[in-house]
Amino acid sequence: MQDLQNDDQTIALTKEFKKMKPPQFHEGLDPLKAEAWVLGIEKLFEVFPCQETQKVLPVTFTLENEARRWWMLIRENNKDIGWARFLEIFYDKYFPQCVRDRKVLEFMELKKNSMIVAEYEAKFTELARFAPHMVDTDYKKARHFQGGLRNDILDKVDALKLETYIDVLDRAIIS
């Protein structure tokens, strides 16, 4: 009886999730598309009420083509996994560690150079998620951002001894 109730709940949950028009993931080894899909799914989870263990099943219905075939091959060994474990398996397949490592390196070497401050800030934010340990405090984030500024802007910002990221960003924009 309990299994039937769980099945009914899972079916209802999946139907409700589909109503939210989640992004589809088709295939390919384009890591940024894989990450964009994950970000789109996680955005829905911000407003979609379900437990971590209930997230995987409705999400797997958004996998198409090669991605669906991949999941069909591995799902038997991955029954009842939670969202975090699903992401590990998914990223291992579609966003390999070597690519993530390259993104960390790109973040570490990011410099403003010819970009305007707004472009630099957008790139900084995009890449920072690959190196959360480098920006896990506002102070670290501010220092890393400041370190990538062009020397003429850096000199003006540095003299002010600003402590927060938003203050460094604001001063860099003004400079």
Q: What is the pLDDT of residues 116-154, one digit of tens each?
A: 999 999 999 999 999 999 999 999 999 999 999 999 999
Question: Domain limits of the chain?
Answer: 2-95, 99-174
| CA gap 42, 35 in Å, rounded | 10
Give per-residue pLDDT as tens, 65-111: 999 999 999 999 998 899 999 999 999 999 989 999 999 999 999 99
Average pLDDT over residues 45-61: 91
In angstroms, the Cα distances linking 108 to 66, 102, 143 are: 34, 10, 12
Look over the chain and give the mean of its residue pLDDT values, rounded to a whole number: 91
Backbone dihedral angles phi then psi of residue 84, each to the nearest 5 degrees: -60, -45
CB 157 within 8 A of CB 172: yes
